[in-house]
Structure 1
Amino acid sequence: MSRAEQPSRRTVLAAAVAAAVASGTAPAAAVTAAPPDRGARDLGTARPVDNRAWTTYADWRCGGAQGVRAVSGARPGVVIAAPAGTTDYTDPHTGTTAPWEYATWTSPVHRLTVPATEVIASWNAHTPAGTWIQVELNGTYSDGTETPWYVMGRWAAGDQDIKRTSVDDQTDGKSTIWTDTFAIDDAATGLRLVSYRLRLTLYRRPGTRITPTVWRLGAMGSDIPDRFTVAASTPGLAQELSVPRYSQEIHKGQYPQYDNGGEAWCSPTSSQMIIEYWGGRLTPEQLAWVDPSFADPQVCHAARYTYDYQYAGCGNWPFNAAYAATFHGMQGVITRLGSLTDLETLIAAGIPAITSQSFLKTELTGAGYGTSGHLMTVVGFTADGDVIANDPASPSDEAVRRVYLRREWENIWLRTKRYNASGKVVSGTGGVCYLYFPAHPSPRQRKALAAVGVR
């Protein structure tokens, strides 16, 4: 199981149905040298989710730049040009203080089409040894006030320079960062985030010419109403994708320094399945650190390189998407989907998805367990419309393929409220989904992604 959604560490979406935000015209936060963002209204108002990502050469040239430059080519991005300065960073997980050159890129202000109770950032980057990045969010509330600059993650693909980490204890009394998620503290008041900007800081060892490259930076804002049940969707697809099957349970007790071993590795195990579906492979050199007696060493690798040293787990959502994007020709985002119809749209285009759900043992026939938070890989649908999932909480790789009843599965995934085993009302996940797909999707894949609000 995953610890990614333990209530003590993460607030999953539990927004109360509140009065509509007055006029939606609260002033956007100002940004030096960058006009408000007028592009990419990804989703209509009928969908309570807003995705915005900066990915193109024009996008990277529109932001506020200090020491960075945009690079064109097959995969446009932003890199360090001439550093804006040097700063010391003390790694809270090693106690090591070291100097780093840095440069920053600040996005234009993005006005949310859906004033949000939650925002989750995601990014895709290359961070060679001696480099790392930080992503921050600053926004404007519906009452016209502004958030502080919140750290959404300090990240490197490796773990030799810094320990990738979320940052706890960030709040202004109106909102809080819960590991990787910005959340309004009391959605019932009607307070919402109406706009935001993202700040990207690129770091490198002083005196070198190496640089991180960031290809994708964005965020998903959402306002999902409270619900214990969701309306059932009508089956519309019978198709199954050939996705590798990996069990997290066979890694139980392995590398306990990474969230107590494989029993908690549902997120990286699911990530590795889809990475390999798209052709991502690890070399023998990359896997040389893994005990050769362990099966599926790539799962151990995924756990190590998604591990969040502050959260003390492998279930940081953006860290998993960023890990997927370290494989050649891949990108990853975090979003929320609205129904199994959305998943059918993706599967029909050949795109599997990783979903997050929590449930009692009695709520999902055939699972054989209950969980406060667990990730599965949806790979298809039966002729009856039931969900075919690669469930890593299985005793062997061969047992990973499961078929779950459509109505049960859809409800446990999309609800925002549920009763736990003690009868207490707790949060549900509200349709959270990881999507990994090619850096250059086919026209059919691009159309399917756009249909669910991702570009």
Structure 2
Amino acid sequence: MRLIAAALAGLLALTGVGACSSTDRPDGSAVAVAAAGGDRERKITLTRWDSSRQWRRGDLAGTTAGDGRLAFHQPVGSATAGGRSYDVARWTSPWVEPGYAFTELIASWSARTPKDSWIEVKVRGRGGSGGRTSWDLLGRWTSGDHHLRRGTVSGQSDDGTSVAVDTWRTSGLSGYQLRVVLARRSGAAYRPSLDLATAMTSRLPASAGPTSAPGAARGTVLQVPRFSQMVHRGHYPRWGSGGEAWCSPTSTSMVLGYYDRLPVPRRYRWVPGGHVDPWVDHAARMTYDHAYDGTGNWPFNTAYAAPLAGKAFVTRLRSVREAERLLAAGIPVVVSIAFGPGQLDGAPIGSSDGHLLVLVGVRANGNVVVNDPAADSRRRVRRTYDRGQLERLWLEASGGLAYVITDSAHPLPNPRAATNW
């Protein structure tokens, strides 16, 4: 999907006050840069690699690029994990400079990890003076859990950077490099691979600003299936025990269900008969971060969804109005919010330090239609929230973080096909 950067550049523009651009850099990567004229401090950049040309512009060490995928070719080193030995290969991106001093970076990826194989994603940065930080590990990921436990390493506090589960935080760096390590059991012939890697950098103000005006999706409500996380309360303590802990995999499953891309039944046949929506139990298991001890790792959820749907990544948007461009293209958006008592009228729970739900539409008056998995039953999942309340809670809690999951029938909208983009 080579239009990711171009489309996100359009999505990150505010009608009437924004200017955005999308360019292919000399290094072969594509970058979407948005700068809102009304809020110069709210900066968001999404850079992606998903074509053979883009992969080849990076440093290939034991890896090869073809048909849009980066794949293990031959070992260039070894590693030990879980008491077992692995052959490793690597890919390192060129240096990327978003054009401002960014304070956060979130990477996401779409990978295949057959049998006993896995990937690691690392990042390092540099400041305006050219000084470089050490490499920090953002995550070790595998699509299964029979051989290795996927996880992150929070902390790593040195060089003015640190890792908070899925987010790399800095004191303000000018550039970064992404590195992907692909590993397979020593002596094996299978080939772990990726067809997408993204890095979203941002520098954001603490306040949300004025509520956005209704946009392209006014009057649109997508028919996203309704799943409740609460009906899984007490399920599988080793993967979070369901209930309030499973908002993220439940939201991800609702979007997959909308695309008719839920996993096939044999994938979740380990779930006992009688469990409601057993694919949610499966999603919780397949997104569980064993170091963080939870299913709310953002890129682990998009990494789970991507091979099923087509493409998936983590980014940030500036407003509900920007999310409406996706909704108008038939793409539901999973967003991360937090709220205290009395801050979100009509919510099924009184408060949350971090909660995921799905934006599915916008009423004629601009208020937002959601599938909120915190409801106690499927029937109560569909809700309408006040636009101003929801937008503020989203932007101030997570900086407008969103899971964007697409299939071939719902590509990202092309900004050149719309006005005011």
Compute the TM-score of the two structures, normalised by the length of structure 2: 0.88
Partner of 1:168: 154
Cα contact 2:28–2:53 (8 A) shared by 1: no
> Letter of the aligned partner of 1:86 in structure 2?
S
C-alpha separation in 1, matches of 2:245 and 2:157: 28
Note closer, same or farther for the CA distance 1:80–1:309 as it changes in structure 2 (3 Å cut): same
Note closer, same or farther for the CA distance 1:71–1:452 as it changes in structure 2 (3 Å cut): farther
C-alpha separation in 1, matches of 2:157 and 2:419: 34
Partner of 2:238: 257
Q: Over residues 366-418 of structure 1, what are the superposed CA-to-partner deviations in whole Å (9 max), with x where a residue is unaligned?
A: 11411111001000011111100000000101110000011111111112xxx
Q: Which residue of the other structure, out of 208, 221, 227, is the alignment partner of 2:201?
A: 221
Query: Shift of the alpha carbon at 1:45?
Result: 3.1
Q: Over residues 41-71 of structure 1, what are the superposed CA-to-partner deviations in whole Å (9 max), with x where a residue is unaligned?
A: 3113336101001001101111101111112
Deviates more, 1:193-202 or 1:78-87: 78-87
Q: Over residues 242-292 of structure 1, what are the superposed CA-to-partner deviations in whole Å (9 max), with x where a residue is unaligned?
A: 111100000000111112323210000000000121221222211111011
Partner of 1:48: 43
Is 1:240 the counterpart of 2:198? The answer is no
Note closer, same or farther for the CA distance 1:161–1:68 as it changes in structure 2 (3 Å cut): same
Partner of 2:306: 325
Cα contact 1:78–1:213 (8 A) shared by 2: yes
Q: Over residues 66-112 of structure 1, what are the superposed CA-to-partner deviations in whole Å (9 max), with x where a residue is unaligned?
A: 1111121xxx11111121133322x3xxxxx1010111111111111
SS of aligned partner of 1:361: coil
Query: Shift of the alpha carbon at 1:197?
Result: 0.9
C-alpha separation in 2, matches of 1:448 and 1:166: 39
Aligned-pair Cα RMSD in Å: 2.1
Gaps of 5+ in 1: 1-34, 92-96, 185-190, 416-427
Q: Which residue of the other structure, out of 141, 165, 172, is the alignment partner of 2:127?
A: 141
Partner of 2:13: none
| Greater length-normalized contact order (CA 8 Å, ≥ 6 residues apart) | 1
C-alpha separation in 2, matches of 1:226 and 1:38: 34
Deviates more, 1:102-111 or 1:253-262: 253-262
Partner of 2:59: 64
C-alpha separation in 2, matches of 1:36 and 1:181: 27
Cα contact 2:31–2:48 (8 A) shared by 1: no
Query: Shift of the alpha carbon at 1:293?
Result: 1.9
Is 1:266 the counterpart of 2:224? The answer is no
Paired residues for 1:355-434 under 5 Å = 355-368=335-348, 369-415=350-396, 428-434=397-403
Partner of 2:296: 315
Cα contact 2:335–2:403 (8 A) shared by 1: yes
> Letter of the aligned partner of 2:60 in structure 1?
A
Compute the TM-score of the two structures, normalised by the length of structure 1: 0.82
Is 1:82 the counterpart of 2:74? The answer is yes
Cα contact 2:121–2:178 (8 A) shared by 1: yes
Partner of 2:101: 115
Q: Which residue of the other structure, out of 199, 209, 222, is the alignment partner of 1:230?
A: 209
Query: Shift of the alpha carbon at 1:143?
Result: 4.7
C-alpha separation in 1, matches of 2:94 and 2:159: 25
SS of aligned partner of 2:100: strand
C-alpha separation in 1, matches of 2:252 and 2:27: 32
> Letter of the aligned partner of 1:40 in structure 2?
A
Note closer, same or farther for the CA distance 1:36–1:98 as it changes in structure 2 (3 Å cut): farther
Partner of 2:256: 275
C-alpha separation in 1, matches of 2:174 and 2:370: 36
C-alpha separation in 2, matches of 1:207 and 1:362: 58
Query: Shift of the alpha carbon at 1:306?
Result: 0.2
Partner of 2:413: 445
Report percent identity of matched pairs: 38
SS of aligned partner of 1:299: helix
Q: Which residue of the other structure, out of 271, 286, 293, is the alignment partner of 2:274?
A: 293
Partner of 1:7: none
C-alpha separation in 1, matches of 2:167 and 2:100: 17
Query: Shift of the alpha carbon at 1:449?
Result: 12
C-alpha separation in 2, matches of 1:402 and 1:244: 13
